[in-house]
Structure 1
Amino acid sequence: MATHKRSRTGCWTCREAGYKCDELKPFCGRCTRLRITCKGYGIKLKWQDDGVSTLAKPPRKGRKKKTIDQVQAPSPTSIVSFASTPMALSSPEFAFSSPESTNSMPTLPLNSPGLSYGLSLDDRWLLNYWVEQLSTLISVAPRHGVATPFQRHLTAMAYESPALRSTILSMAANHLALTSNNASLHLQGYRFQRNAIRELQQMIQDPVEIYAEPALATVMMMQVSARLFGDDDEAHVANHLIGAKAIISRHEGDGWLASSNARFLMSLLAYHDILSSVSRGSQPLLDHKTGFTAVEGEQQLESIANVLLVVAQISQLQHAIKMRKAESTTCLALSEDENTTGRRIQQTLLAMDFVACKQEDTQEDTDISSTAEAYRHAAFIYLYRTWLDIGAPNPISMEHINQCLSQLQQVDAHSPLTSSHIWPLFTAGCEAIDSTQRHFVRIRFEELYAVKRFPSLKRVMRDIEHVWEAKDMEQQTKGQAGMAKVDCIQVILKRRGREVELA
């Protein structure tokens, strides 16, 4: 007979093992003592890989304190299960201060007044905040006085899809809580997040809805939300990209990409999948060569997408090298094929030159070119780390570190392009050894947080500080050669037990 009770409020490692947890953060005492991975706390969504066959379990009946326990819903290609920490369904009334009264609430940019029918005044206020403020902070696309891709493709869809709407409202509430210093909005955001999980559960049980655009939109916005607002103590944020892969795996051919909404969603998936492959130290989940032509589906952002497709090739090379080393621990030298691939990728990056073809028509054009060039130099840094296992202070890497930071510095912190700067800023910033460059990286993250108020920005800066500490320590013990061997991504994976939010 077991002498312990299953934990329902502790970290996920203790909960899954059935042990009582002391709930210390960021890592609980039991996990620290046993030197095992502490999986963190909070809402947890599990996307199981294709081919898993599990019987569906109905939701548990409510108790005095109703909870969302593990529920599994089968689909033709995957099983998606959800779990969360126990929480009461009741929540306080939606209370937050607003500069406008309810009578002077801004008008929602709706095609039809009927779209807002059935929404509470509080929900409409949050949805308006998403449209007017938050969506513009997330989007990379230059404004041009028109709606951003997130506004055009998701807002109307949110009125049709409860799961997508709840996800967006959760993001709006969480962001408003930060910008207004109103902690009660975090509770509201948690309630919407809980609702989104329930509504997505219902959606994935429908063989038609699960493969419709709103389902993919919901999963992708959950991915964006987890990256921007996820708990720093959560070691394993749900990887919704696996769910997105399951959703699109049933779509044969590129016919469904005829829809502008689908093209936008696929570009969003490609952007996150490729950058996540860098932080995972693995290959992308999908091949994006045909479906990813421009970031957010905006033609003017084609140059950034072109570099990201090369980044995907580097991640594939990294995966191949890891698999080969895992199979044979005696042969550590690069194979001929790996060397050939590295040289081919290098030549591809050398052939790109976004500075030479800069269009000086507008500041936006200049910002796009500078961003694409920063991505190109960051790709060089990533390639040399993967292919040659070198970084700063090696002169080969230093040239691209200097160029990458220089290009980023040319873009004003208020430019929408800075929403895409996290990866190049992390990649070059981690390798920076000059005090002036490190100062710029710190200041730029402070500026970006002041503009956007995304918690992920502070987390990434803390991650960079961890890498600097590791590189400086390695230099003291093993010199510059040892410092050059420090892999930034691996430092965070080992020290923090999670990925870096690069997207």
Structure 2
Amino acid sequence: MAPEQPDPDRIRRVRTGCWTCRRRGYRCDETKPSCKECIRLSLDCEGYGIRLRWTTSSSPAGPGKGNAPVNRPGRSRRLRRTSPPTSDPNTAASKAVSQDLGGVASLSPLPPGLSHDQSFLIQHFFYTISGLLASTDDRSINVYCGVILPMAFSSPLVLDSVLLLSATHLASRYDQFSPHNAKYKAQVLRALIHRVGAWSEFELTTLTSIILLSINEIFEANSPADWVRHLAAAGKIIGSHMGNLVGRAPDRTVRMILDIFAYHNVLALVSTGQPSLFLDLYYDDKWSSLSGQRTAFLASVDTLLSIAARLSRLTHASDDGLPCTADRLAAADRLRQQLGSWSPPLGIPDDTRHTAEAMRYATMLIYYKTVAFAGEDNAAAISASSRAIVEHIGHVPVRSSATASHVWPLYMAGSVLEDGVSVPEDARQFIQDRFLAMESVRGIRSVGIVRRRLEQAWSTEVVSAKLEPPVILF
């Protein structure tokens, strides 16, 4: 039965709900990730993301002039470079954001003195970047909106870091934003060099800016070396600060910033094996600042990430040629037992649960890599873990906020080319298609780098561990 068509006589302007219902003039129940109306009519729910409109600064744009086409995922398997906005961002940026912002929390009034460019980039950070980086739809606990953005309004360094992230993300599709990217990156680096040179005590704004600078490396898809360098610098600041607390816990704001660092730092450790990234923090199973919060993604997987960090430390010790001692094997086995007994918390959203399970199997693949040096044959278990990752992520829509944490497990699932284990063709196709969809929906360059690395491995059947340089996983 074909989906029913809207009656032209009853189509009306609808300002809230998913974009499919808005266009058709239907009332939307705003269920996420897909509304019930679209499901009932077997329609592709286009979601609730903000869409931007660029207009010229002098006069309204006519049809086809001045508007950046929306790149709708699903119409092309590969990310297409859409035509950049024809208006000059230096004069019209703050006018570019669509006023049709129903269904999301409102941005507080911006402080006075901001340029048009800055206002536009801040709104892009609030409405888009904060959602790309957080693995939860709950904006009340979104640290990028609730902690970092208010911090930026009182710290020029953090403000420049926020503007840099927005400019870098937009520059991946619109060349006009490339000058903004270069400008704010230079300003952030100069300020950080000055801060570090005059270092006297812990400053949360400095730590926050370094962490945001590391995330910018993900957006730019540069060599992982700078990504690791920024995280290692942040780790030194954190280690020094935690040591000075002498048994006292940092305040909640600091802990929420530490959550961002810990997540990215673990994945940097997993993908590069740099020993300087390991912190004693990862021996604490429950480090999330929002532990017990049902909608907080990190609170659901902090124990899992700690296990992954400790296993990675053991794995890369083997990669460096250190002997596979009985003590290391025993430590790996204890971590395997913890993995076996771990399960996602009860009552969390389905997308979070499936993502957490995919991460658990990805961590199990790290374990198999660790014990491979002892001559164990785990080919069947490796293949099963790879398929389990694909199965769990297959339950999560690509527009779900949980997709922010899918790059690492998908890469692990696709890179098991050891000891006769090969990724089945259907699993390869799913992984490739999912990465292509993520590139289109999320607009983060590093996703394409990871996808191409896997395609290279599949075409040559090269063992992933020997591929150089490491990729940025996030």
Superposition TM-score, scaled by structure 1 size:
0.67
Per the alignment, residue 116 of structure 2 pairs with: 121
* Structure 1 residue identity aligned to 2:309: A
Matched, 1:287 2:285: no
Shift of 1:437: 0.4
* Structure 1 residue identity aligned to 2:472: E
Per the alignment, residue 220 of structure 1 pairs with: 211
* Structure 2 residue identity aligned to 1:403: A
Contact 2:220 2:446 in 1 (8 A): yes
Q: Tell me which of 390, 394, 399 is aligned to 2:384.
A: 399
Contact 1:392 1:398 in 2 (8 A): no
Provide the rounded CA distance (Å) in 1 between the counterparts of 2:285 and 2:336.
21
Post-superposition Cα deviations, 1:343-371, rounded to whole Å, max 9, x if no partner, equal 211111111133xx653xxxx61111111
Contact 1:141 1:417 in 2 (8 A): yes
Provide the rounded CA distance (Å) in 1 between the counterparts of 2:97 and 2:381.
59
* Structure 2 residue identity aligned to 1:177: A
Per the alignment, residue 490 of structure 1 pairs with: 466
* Structure 2 residue identity aligned to 1:253: L
Post-superposition Cα deviations, 1:183-227, rounded to whole Å, max 9, x if no partner, equal 12111111111111112223223434x621111000000011112
Shift of 1:168: 1.4
Matched, 1:304 2:276: no
Contact 2:414 2:454 in 1 (8 A): yes
Per the alignment, residue 132 of structure 2 pairs with: 137
Q: Secondary structure of the equivalent of 1:353?
A: coil
Per the alignment, residue 180 of structure 2 pairs with: 188
> Do the aligned partners of residues 182 and 317 (structure 1) sit closer, same or farther apart at CA in structure 2, a change above 3 Å counting?
closer
Provide the rounded CA distance (Å) in 2 between the counterparts of 1:292 and 1:150.
24
Matched, 1:375 2:364: no
* Structure 2 residue identity aligned to 1:149: V
Q: Secondary structure of the equivalent of 1:174?
A: helix
Provide the rounded CA distance (Å) in 2 between the counterparts of 1:420 and 1:102.
27
Contact 1:274 1:308 in 2 (8 A): yes
Matched, 1:244 2:234: yes
Post-superposition Cα deviations, 1:468-489, rounded to whole Å, max 9, x if no partner, equal 2342xx6xxxxxxxxxxx2x24
Q: Tell me which of 151, 157, 160 is aligned to 1:157.
A: 151
> Do the aligned partners of residues 430 and 320 (structure 1) sit closer, same or farther apart at CA in structure 2, a change above 3 Å counting?
closer
Matches within 5 A, 1:24-173: 94-95=89-90, 100=95, 109-110=107-108, 116-143=111-138, 146=140, 148-173=142-167
Provide the rounded CA distance (Å) in 2 between the counterparts of 1:226 and 1:101.
26
Per the alignment, residue 63 of structure 2 pairs with: none
Post-superposition Cα deviations, 1:100-148, rounded to whole Å, max 9, x if no partner, equal 46997999733xx5x61332222122112111211111111232x5362
Matched, 1:230 2:214: no
Matched, 1:275 2:267: yes
Contact 1:268 1:295 in 2 (8 A): no
Per the alignment, residue 443 of structure 1 pairs with: 433
Provide the rounded CA distance (Å) in 1 between the counterparts of 2:146 and 2:127.
12
Number of residue equivalences: 371
Q: Tell me which of 414, 419, 423 is aligned to 2:408.
A: 423
Q: Which runs of 5+ in 2 are unaligned?
A: 1-87, 417-421
**Over aligned residues, Cα RMSD in angstroms?**
3.0
Per the alignment, residue 468 of structure 1 pairs with: 458
Provide the rounded CA distance (Å) in 2 between the counterparts of 1:200 and 1:149.
22
Per the alignment, residue 35 of structure 1 pairs with: none
Provide the rounded CA distance (Å) in 1 between the counterparts of 2:89 and 2:186.
16
Per the alignment, residue 193 of structure 2 pairs with: 201
Provide the rounded CA distance (Å) in 2 between the counterparts of 1:310 and 1:136.
26
Provide the rounded CA distance (Å) in 1 between the counterparts of 2:191 and 2:171.
24
> Do the aligned partners of residues 268 and 490 (structure 1) sit closer, same or farther apart at CA in structure 2, a change above 3 Å counting?
farther
Per the alignment, residue 31 of structure 2 pairs with: none
Q: Secondary structure of the equivalent of 1:249?
A: helix
* Structure 2 residue identity aligned to 1:199: A
Shift of 1:294: 5.6
* Structure 2 residue identity aligned to 1:237: D
Q: Which runs of 5+ in 1 are unaligned?
A: 1-92, 327-331, 475-485
Superposition TM-score, scaled by structure 2 size:
0.71
Matches within 5 A, 1:356-371: 358-359=346-347, 365-371=349-355
* Structure 2 residue identity aligned to 1:286: L
* Structure 2 residue identity aligned to 1:408: I
Which 10-residue stretch deviates more, 250-259 or 236-245?
A: 250-259
Contact 1:94 1:185 in 2 (8 A): yes
Provide the rounded CA distance (Å) in 2 between the counterparts of 1:240 and 1:199.
14
Provide the rounded CA distance (Å) in 1 between the counterparts of 2:175 and 2:432.
27
Q: Tell me which of 254, 265, 276 is aligned to 2:257.
A: 265
User: Percent identical across equivalent pairs?
Assistant: 22
Post-superposition Cα deviations, 1:145-195, rounded to whole Å, max 9, x if no partner, equal 5362211110011122222211211111122233xx431211111111111
* Structure 1 residue identity aligned to 2:226: V
Which 10-residue stretch deviates more, 393-402 or 246-255?
A: 246-255
Provide the rounded CA distance (Å) in 2 between the counterparts of 1:153 and 1:348.
33
Which 10-residue stretch deviates more, 257-266 or 414-423?
A: 257-266
> Do the aligned partners of residues 101 and 263 (structure 1) sit closer, same or farther apart at CA in structure 2, a change above 3 Å counting?
closer
